Structure 1
């Protein structure tokens, strides 16, 4: 219903649902049931995992199908899988859900509520928003889909010949869907594709929480922490991020990777055996091109488990060494084959996240002292502990369990990546977002361990946590209120006093935490009080984040109705669409549109709508996300958006045609660079050198003469 209201046709919605159900989910569920040995999985659990497996099969089928020029052959594996499970008698039993567990009704409603919230959020911030005013990166995603729909392996569509060392398999999934269903790429990117991935991920996070925590209540609690609990924010404009999961459509690569990774974790916490390895290999193979960010996290978790088990059991843990080897192999393939050793600007740069925070507060971008960054890093860790402090309740007994060690190892690697890596666009934060579900599961399990110990002494764990959370929330609100009044009179400067102005409120929270610990310990003997200390302290620290989390949740469903920035100018989409319909797939376009129309110094080159809506390669359009830009960003200092285009000769030749057209420079563009079309704002100076094929009130499309 939401999609229909937001402009998706009945035909597109019906065809998309039919393909997702019959071409992706059905073969995926059948393979999941057969390859995991028919073990008892809850219905929702295996449906979500089957969707992930179906997506993986679809992507691996699309790559060779597109490479040989017959993309609709992507349907062949799905048809074969369904056919085999119909014909082979021994496989027919996997059509039935007999003997499988049922998800409790309350749990289904709770998870449905979370998915419903995500639908409302997506509708308000994307689905109902006019395409021309959607999030700035949406044309970039559309351009990548158009590129992968046209050719495999792809290149960077907005800079002709630029390599694409990027996670592009999600665009292969969308391209396959577009070829089979006939749905326009813009409908898939801006509306349909990411919602099923998001919904399946919610279920899989709950499934992992249930397996590790021992109950569906733990699974639902893990989902709640994953999506709705954030670190404290005590002053406007100063956010020690704990990273939101609300990037579903803003980063489809992250969403797709998270969905593929969740069944990997689910299998590992359930216990891998037999044909489970086939599923693991399949998912890791697709993860390598979908979001390789997850592979070093898996490697870190597996190595930690292997190391601890080796010490405890005095023998090589073959299974976990195998998992580590699988993750390492996926990384090697991703880096050497798919990404061509490109890094997209990611470097070892300790405290880069803190440097960006401090620069944003003070306006000083260079020369941040290490001591300042170290203090800010400590505050960042404190904010992370406010969300996931429950890990402290696990105790050594549970920490020795492989599934818990895996989650903790992956979580530690994600946090470490935020502290030691840097990226011009802060993409290192995706490591933290990637482990958010699994840190949440570990934290919920830790609270459960402490809660059971506390309840075993005849006390109410729920009451203790509730009172602690209320206390923490109250303290955070008071501190934030006082800080707001103080900041109205005090300006933050890049010195020690300014640093204290930023971290001072958090020091108050640390002091309150210490006082709470002292009070709890003094009221009870130390050993029996351990569970109580964990519950109360974790509750208080989680409470610190409740006000900020409430504000964030309200903000996500009460969108700013102010003027939305127009990303695609009026008439631009129409001109690009005409060009798509009247040109060949291999034609090259030139444009003088490189910079977004923003009031700022320099050029914000996140300009991708020409390539996005025309589905054609552009000689030079926007270059902000190109490898040649991000790899040079550190040398220029400041924002990566200020980095000039790498090939100055090409840019000069391109722009000369539009600035001062002559027969010679037009011929050079056509013969030297293979340009066939020009898309620009209406300019009568071009009339004598190229044939006008389309025009509206704002834009014109010209065809260059051959040769």
Structure 2
């Protein structure tokens, strides 16, 4: 098929395949079309035009990738303006007004020109986007059926959904689970979804769970491509970077177990962490121009916009960015023999935005602390071998197992540390940019290496009450692999001998395949330190031996060729697992194998519970408040139950008098690094007692107090959560009932 025919055919296939595959997992066709058009017109296209005017024009792929990120800044500005004025429905007017102004101004209109590129880049990009979309649908969306299907969805999903519901109407949102408490959280991703929900007329739950995931992975591929191309100026590097960020992310898993997270930075229950990885890639655009002294008049405004976006995305981004600035600042000062003021400004910009956000946008960090190697608690076999079942962020300054000083446990901790570094080795290869002759003179590679090292190391010294220290390394998920590919490209020149490189890649793939097929599934019997070493480390040692053999047998070895072989070997070794996971998900999807919720999982919700909250959301008005007996998952309340039932506010969008309190700052701080935040007593015991009494032992005086003094409009009584008084039928107005939930209107 001629390229001139193939190119449009692939671009047409992208939206068609997206709509059809999403219809297969429950998304209405018209809903998907509305959402994709909304994202295209309010995020991608404006972002491309803004980036092109400010700092773009180097290539279309770069404009698309960095535009996909800066377009979120524009969309958030539109959302904040219209929502702050109390007219969210006017977002389309402002969004379309952008085009009228842009094309009415000749100076702006003249910037809409495109630099020609290689003829293959468009088909290649279309294929990558198709693969990324299909992988996301069959591997992620299919596993998360839309409400009200009974399912065991992670509690964080309901928390994120509740924020979106609040942000549809308010730019200074309250905590949806605790009436009168301000929301201290990094909610920019949620605000973007809230704006898109209003503009596309799509349910927030559908956007969070399915629709946003598609546009995110498209943006991830585009941004990965743009970052790789911006670092090297080579289109092929961009294509490989896009492949390894959004389609087959370079996480190195060799044996089938233990399973290593293989998702390209995605998580339905964690859109803030996903957006952080995307923003980190977007920052490459202006940072590279500033570090290389290639700025235009708009580079610094673009830098400020992206830094502002990073501020409310995740509290991991700016510390990582600042660490990279410190590393490249020291390097540039030594090399240039004078203060690198442009880098000083970069650091001050990041530090200033971060400090400004600490009071309102950081959030979820209460109870966290410095604890060396605390992240290893979440690594395979930790509790079973060490016997340490302490809660995260509790104990001394070091991991309790390490503090024992017992040689056996020290060896075990060392094994887990090595394993952590090995599974992230493809990203850590970006650090080679500070050692290779062609890259180490470029400050961009020093900044990138500093960011990757910071994300990897902060994870090991920080302890979060919910293991969220891992968001630091996830933030550099895409950046690290882009850096590794870029470093590899600097090792290639006209004298490069490709046969040894291809042999290294083939050896990596074959070794990984054999290990995957022949390696035993895990420790045979109770795990011991020796068995754990065999299960976790020995597969990587086998790969290392194969790599040494390949390098040793290579004639006329040079340092550059050896580094190139190592990068290719490691990246190639990660592909078999990625392809196997993709193939398995594709097969299960094609064979219509149903995904069934686990009724025994504590976060399982019935269809009746979800349907009741959907009804409430459809009948409540903005500003309404509800009281309920739902605080914990599973629903039945008892002292020290896990208070993370955010689904009442999430599905209904109705402010709770008191709902789940697990993530409230007061609750996180109350742990005092001694207990789990999930099982803390409520910081609002009076509200808790009133809520329980309103459902179990209602009196006219109590219901009148809730209605008149606290502004409560609705009462939610979940029969799975505990007893419900028959007197409610007399004291309040019954408006909804099903086998699991009753809803009343307070008189």
Pick which of 324-333 and 682-691 moved more. 682-691
Pick which of 432-441 and 600-609 moved more. 600-609
Residue number in structure 2 paired with 1:433: 474
CA change 1:540–1:285 in 2 (3 A) is: closer
Hey, what's the Cα distance between the residues in 1 that align with 2:582 and 2:620? 46
Hey, what's the Cα distance between the residues in 2 that align with 1:122 and 1:503? 31
Residue number in structure 2 paired with 1:701: 743
Q: Select the structure that is richer in helix.
A: 1
Q: Is the 8 A contact 1:126 1:134 kept in 2?
A: no
Hey, what's the Cα distance between the residues in 2 that align with 1:353 and 1:168? 25
Give the TM-score taking structure 1 as reference length.
0.87
Q: Is the 8 A contact 1:308 1:400 kept in 2?
A: no
Q: Is it true that 1:630 corresponds to 2:681 in the alignment?
A: no
1:121-142 CA-partner distances (Å, limit 9, x unpaired): 3442236786442632332222
CA change 1:28–1:506 in 2 (3 A) is: closer
Map residues 180-191 of structure 1 onto 2, 5 A cutoff: 180-191=199-210
Map residues 26-175 of structure 1 onto 2, 5 A cutoff: 26-36=45-55, 39-42=57-60, 44-75=61-92, 77-97=94-114, 104-112=121-129, 113-126=131-144, 131-133=149-151, 135-136=153-154, 137-175=156-194
Q: Is it true that 1:376 corresponds to 2:386 in the alignment?
A: no
Q: Is the 8 A contact 1:2 1:123 kept in 2?
A: no
Residue number in structure 2 paired with 1:586: 623
Equivalent of 1:491, from 507, 522, 526? 526
Residue number in structure 1 paired with 2:597: 564
Residue number in structure 1 paired with 2:559: 530
Hey, what's the Cα distance between the residues in 1 that align with 2:197 and 2:92? 12
Equivalent of 1:468, from 507, 512, 528? 507
Hey, what's the Cα distance between the residues in 2 that align with 1:276 and 1:385? 33
Hey, what's the Cα distance between the residues in 2 that align with 1:514 and 1:201? 31
Q: Is it true that 1:229 corresponds to 2:231 in the alignment?
A: no
Hey, what's the Cα distance between the residues in 1 that align with 2:25 and 2:550? 53
Residue segments in structure 1 that go unaligned for 5+ positions in a row: 493-497
Q: Is the 8 A contact 1:389 1:538 kept in 2?
A: yes
Equivalent of 1:618, from 650, 656, 662? 656
Q: Is the 8 A contact 1:304 1:409 kept in 2?
A: yes
Hey, what's the Cα distance between the residues in 2 that align with 1:24 and 1:390? 30
Hey, what's the Cα distance between the residues in 1 that align with 2:702 and 2:158? 29
Residue number in structure 1 paired with 2:341: 318
1:150 is paired with a residue whose SS is coil
Hey, what's the Cα distance between the residues in 1 that align with 2:659 and 2:530? 44
Pick which of 610-619 and 674-683 moved more. 674-683
Q: Is the 8 A contact 1:34 1:91 kept in 2?
A: yes
Residue number in structure 2 paired with 1:508: 538
Residue number in structure 2 paired with 1:287: 310
Hey, what's the Cα distance between the residues in 1 that align with 2:54 and 2:252? 40
Residue number in structure 2 paired with 1:351: 373
2:144 is paired with a residue whose SS is helix
1:624-659 CA-partner distances (Å, limit 9, x unpaired): 32223333446443x543333222222122112222
Q: Is the 8 A contact 2:249 2:262 kept in 1?
A: no
Hey, what's the Cα distance between the residues in 2 that align with 1:474 and 1:326? 46
Q: Is it true that 1:673 corresponds to 2:706 in the alignment?
A: no
Q: Is the 8 A contact 1:229 1:387 kept in 2?
A: yes
Q: What is the RMSD of the two structures over their aligned residues, measured on CA atoms?
A: 3.3
Q: How many equivalent residue pairs? A: 687
CA change 1:549–1:529 in 2 (3 A) is: same
Q: Is the 8 A contact 1:608 1:622 kept in 2?
A: yes
Shift of 1:386: 5.3
Q: Is the 8 A contact 2:715 2:745 kept in 1?
A: yes
1:8-63 CA-partner distances (Å, limit 9, x unpaired): 44543343333323333333222222112x52322x43234333323211212322
Q: Is it true that 1:299 corresponds to 2:317 in the alignment?
A: no
Shift of 1:519: 5.1
Map residues 658-669 of structure 1 onto 2, 5 A cutoff: 658-669=695-706
